[in-house]
């Protein structure tokens, strides 16, 4: 996995885990949703910064809970201020937080902006399907045409090898936004078509026409 994509995935995991922690979502300690490579690298970061390895089960449980929650009507925004506050609390308990050469996880909100949102927090949140606060408006287009929705699903299916799930689409959008592309989020697609299955069916139908 390329370094840039690896860091993007680690940052995505950090945001989702923090979202779950801030909103006090129920943790499924049996969840196993990180890819083997991301899990391995995250455990290496844990070892370097002094985070107990068993913390990984809580992190995965929080990510799983966040992914499910942000696709529901109950989803709430996540501000950069709240993210950084939660991060500081997490990092303050690390015995090696100040050690030279230690790359701390979770990263700062500045890193989140840079890797997932083209330096914009709201763009980063949109890429993950997290609602945007009404107190601020992300730059750029906020609405997509039907053609753009369908094209996004078409491109995702073309890029995916086997996993064409709603969760996989969200990860693909995060990667696309990290590369500078602006794609509709999973929740936006689901709202437009009624369901993720309907979005894929629309793409398949219109592609045949």
pLDDT in tens, 168-199: 888 888 887 777 677 888 888 888 888 898 88
Burial of 190-201, coded b for 16+ CB within 10 Å and e otherwise, reads bebbeebeebbe
Residues 6 or more apart whose CB falls under 8 angstroms from that of 7 comprise 115
pLDDT one-digit tens code per residue, 100-134: 566 889 999 989 988 888 888 888 898 898 988 65
Supply the pLDDT for residue 145.
Answer: 79
In the predicted structure, residue 54 carries a pLDDT above the cut 60: yes
Identify the sign of the CA torsion 72, 137, 123, 156: positive
pLDDT higher at 64 or 138 = 64
5 or 42: which carries more pLDDT confidence? 42
> What predicted TM-score, i.e. pTM, was given to this entire model?
0.65
> In 23-181, where does DSSP find H-type helix?
36-49, 55-69, 80-92, 109-116, 121-127, 146-159, 166-178
Give the chain's largest Cα–Cα span: 60
Across the chain, what does the average pLDDT equal? 84
Helix boundaries (H) for 102-165: 109-116, 121-127, 146-159
């Amino acid at each position: 996995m390329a370094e840039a994509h690896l860091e993007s995935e680690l940052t995505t995991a950090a945001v989702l885990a923090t979202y779950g922690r801030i909103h006090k979502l129920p943790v499924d300690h049996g969840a196993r949703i990180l890819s083997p490579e991301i899990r391995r690298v995250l455990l290496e970061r844990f070892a370097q910064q002094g985070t107990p390895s068993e913390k990984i089960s809580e992190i995965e449980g929080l990510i799983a809970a966040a992914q499910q929650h942000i696709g529901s009507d109950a989803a709430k925004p996540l501000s950069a201020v709240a993210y950084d506050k939660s991060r500081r609390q997490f990092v303050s308990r690390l015995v090696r937080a100040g050690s030279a050469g230690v790359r701390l996880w979770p990263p700062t909100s500045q890193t989140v902006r840079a890797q997932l949102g083209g330096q914009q927090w709201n763009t980063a949140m949109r890429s993950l399907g997290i609602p945007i606060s009404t107190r601020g408006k992300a730059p750029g287009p906020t609405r997509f045409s039907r053609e753009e929705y369908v094209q996004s699903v078409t491109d995702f299916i073309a890029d995916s090898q086997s996993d064409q799930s709603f969760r996989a689409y969200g990860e693909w959008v995060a990667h696309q936004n990290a590369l500078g592309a602006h794609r509709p989020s999973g929740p936006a697609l689901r709202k437009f078509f009624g369901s993720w299955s309907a979005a894929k069916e629309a793409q398949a139908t219109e592609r045949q026409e």
